[in-house]
Amino acid sequence: MAKKNKGKDPENDNDVGGEDEEPDFNDPEDYVDDITDEDLLGDLLREQPKETDGVESVIIVDGVPQVGAERLEKLQNVIRKLFKDFGPIVTEHYPKDAEGITKGYIFLEFKDRQCAEEAVRQLNTHKLDKQHTFQCNLFTDFDKFENIPDEFQQPKPQPYKDLGNLSYYLLEENCFDQFSVIYEGGTTTAIYLNSVPEVTVVAKRERWTETYVRWSPRGTYLATFHLKGIALWGGEDFRQVQKFSHNGVQFIDFSPCEKYMVTFSSQVDARAEEPQSIIIWDVLTGQKRRSFNAERPPVWPVFKWSHDDKYFARIGEDVLSVYETPSFGLLDMKSIKVPGIRDFSWSPTDTVLAYWIAEDKDVPAKVSLIAIPSREEVRTKNLFSVADCKMHWQKCGDYLCVKVARYVKAKREKNEIKYAGIYYNFEIFHMRDKGIPVDSLEIKENIQAFAWEPIGNKFGIISGEPPSVAVTFFQVNKGLAPSELKKFEKRACNNLFWSPQGQFVVLAGLRNLSGALEFIDTKDFQVMAATEHFMATDIEWDPTGRYVASCVSWWGHKVDNAYWLWSFQGKCLKRQALERFCQLLWRPRPPALLNAAHIKDIKKNMKKYSAQFELQDKMRFSKASKDIIEKRQKLMASFTEYREKVTEKYNSMKEARIELREGLDSENLADNEGDYEDETVEFLVKKEIIVLDD
């Protein structure tokens, strides 16, 4: 029997007569529930027990020595020493036979699945001694091994997919480069060919990407970002070449030779058995090669690649982990222990790693160079009173510059050192010289920017504070300290951009400055042009060093969004305003097949080729003029045809007009002179006073 609730009088708050039924909380018959359990109870569902709980962090190690009770403790110490680097071992079990001798396999339980997977990956096939080699497997993998069919089934070959010529753009006879442009707030993406005299559209699509685009390092692929992952496009018509499923992907990074791609997403499913934050993909096959967990927040890129794609590395807590491809396992199955490591970078041309270690009490900071895969330390440099270090490699790998921010010691108070400020040292490593000598350059001003000449031995530094900002160019010398070549005082700039081929540089005042631009030839340090692109946010050189683009991005400013194209000498060639323009990126080119001697010979004989190029330019502009004349002639012919039609129609309506005007023909005034009166109107146009000399 349902309970009855007595009502209350709303005025005197006393119980009144009458009884109400208990409310019914059931849904109506036609109610449709559109909320899933995942949306409603997502946090609880992720914590629900799974069948693999308790065993997914357990591994089985086979190939362990069989020992008796007298040697068991020694074996356990060896096993613990090998496996402790991958995480705390919760429990360990050594099965024994009836005589108390171990059976040659053991069970180890780690704190979580990630530790167990790393232990299996790194110590599987580890050779303990001449007679014993480990075979490591996850406990949860044994169900998979039990279901292996007895008979081998030959996999069906997949049909060949013809992707076309992905490098067709390199066959452009005039060597015009392509560039991508995103505008209309990100809804429209277009690829243009930087042809002369006008750029031409190669491809244009709406909602091609959801955020931004990125070219692969050699220009083979265009990567677009989507909610479910990354898509790669290529070929003459920009067809989809490959796609990679990674929900919520935010960042990507290609290996230098484009063999692999790394993606990052912050959307992680806690129920997933494998890491989902960082995934390394094979670009050609689209297969996932390995996944990793990410730090919070991640420092991108997490992995840094060697120049030949053979190795990639990341920093851990007091370790530097170097992985090799195509196995994607740790090099030599162990990390490099480097207590206090802060940052590292690869040489752009050699398998050499540079890293720096912070100071620790009386132990100085240190910059080290190590060769991979031998791990041989080829050079070290101790540093004192270090606040921070930044490493800058020259593109050819000839030099490494370590920008060191040092504390200025003031005095010691109560066994504590007080610092008065910061000054900067540039430690320059000569990588090609015997013993790798190091030069030092001290700058006692704030450093805003540093950049190497990509091909050459010069570098530029922007130092000081507005309005006393100076740009200084130095040259690295063999056996001598760097020499100052030229100093430009009081420059309104905060960035310098070298041409990819060297020699030419652009000084730019971006974002919070006015957008001043200076084009400088560092051969004789002549300022070829001093101009301005107001509110410019980005500078982009084309891969050949012939053109440079200055941009006002809608992501940086909401007005005057446009890109301007300049010659390397600072001549403005094109001003293109686009509605909510966002991004411009030049399509990269692969390394030249010519060696240094061939390139030097071409530069030496450039005058021989320049006449031919000038003739081609004149013909191209002449053709453009001819096209304009033909276009104007077509417009004139169209207008003449239209005018004749309208005149004919007007003449055909003459009688009707005269009838409506009661016989007045306004077109023939001679026949209607009596109906008109002439009137002359005069007005003063200009008054001049001329003073005549006597």
Please enumerate in sequence order all residues whose Cβ is within 8 A of that of 649, keeping only pairs 6 or more positions apart, or say none: none
**Residue 330 predicted with pLDDT over 90:** no
Q: Is the pLDDT of residue 3 over 50?
A: no
- Measured N-to-C along each axis, helices 69-83 and 113-123 cross at an angle, to the nearest 10 degrees, of 100
Q: Which segment, 47-51, 411-415, 554-558, is predicted with the most confidence on average?
A: 554-558
Extents of the domains making up the chain: 58-142, 171-205+453-590
Instruction: Report how far Cα 393 is from the mean position of its chain's Cα atoms.
Output: 18
Per-residue confidence (pLDDT) for residue 534, from 0 to 100: 93
Task: State the pLDDT confidence band at 29, using cuts at 50, 70 and 90.
Answer: confident
pLDDT above 90 (res 356): yes
The span from the CA of 267 to the CA of 277, in Å, is 7
Looking at residue 614, what is its pLDDT?
Answer: 76
- pLDDT at residue 10, as a whole number: 43
User: What's the CA gap between 529 and 542, in Å, rounded?
Assistant: 18
- Mean pLDDT, all residues of the chain: 86
Q: What is the pLDDT of residues 153-204, one digit of tens each?
A: 888 888 888 888 999 999 988 889 999 999 999 999 999 999 888 899 999 9
pTM: 0.73
Residue 547 and residue 542: Cα distance in Å, rounded?
6
Within its chain, how far is the Cα of 399 from the centroid?
24
What are residue 110's DSSP bridge partners? 89
d(CA 109, CA 89): 6
Give 74-116 as a 3 state SS string.
HHHHHHHHHHHHHCCEEEEECCECCCCCECCEEEEEECCHHHH
Q: Which of 29-43, 175-189, 425-439, 567-581 has the lowest mean pLDDT?
A: 29-43
Range from 5-9, 314-318, 426-430, 464-468 that averages highest in pLDDT: 426-430
Residues 6+ apart with CB under 8 A from 157: none
Q: pLDDT, tens digit, for every residue of 192-248?
A: 999 888 899 999 999 999 999 999 999 999 999 999 999 999 999 999 999 999 999
* Cis ω for the linkage preceding 28 (within 30 of 0): no
Give me the pLDDT at residue 14, please: 47
Q: Are 521 and 570 in contact (CB under 8 A)?
A: no
pLDDT digits (tens, 9 = 90+) for 117-139: 888 888 888 888 888 999 999 88
**Element (DSSP H or E) covering residue 669:** none
For residue 546, what pLDDT is reported? 93
- pLDDT value for 677: 64
Least confident stretch, 43-57, 168-182, 634-648: 43-57
Pick the CATH number of 58-142 from 3.10.310.40, 3.40.640.10, 3.30.70.330, 3.40.1130.10: 3.30.70.330
* Per-residue pLDDT band at 631 (split at 50, 70, 90): confident
How many angstroms separate the CA atoms of 156 and 136, rounded? 30
User: Torsion over CA of 139, 140, 145 and 147, rounded to 10 degrees?
Assistant: 140
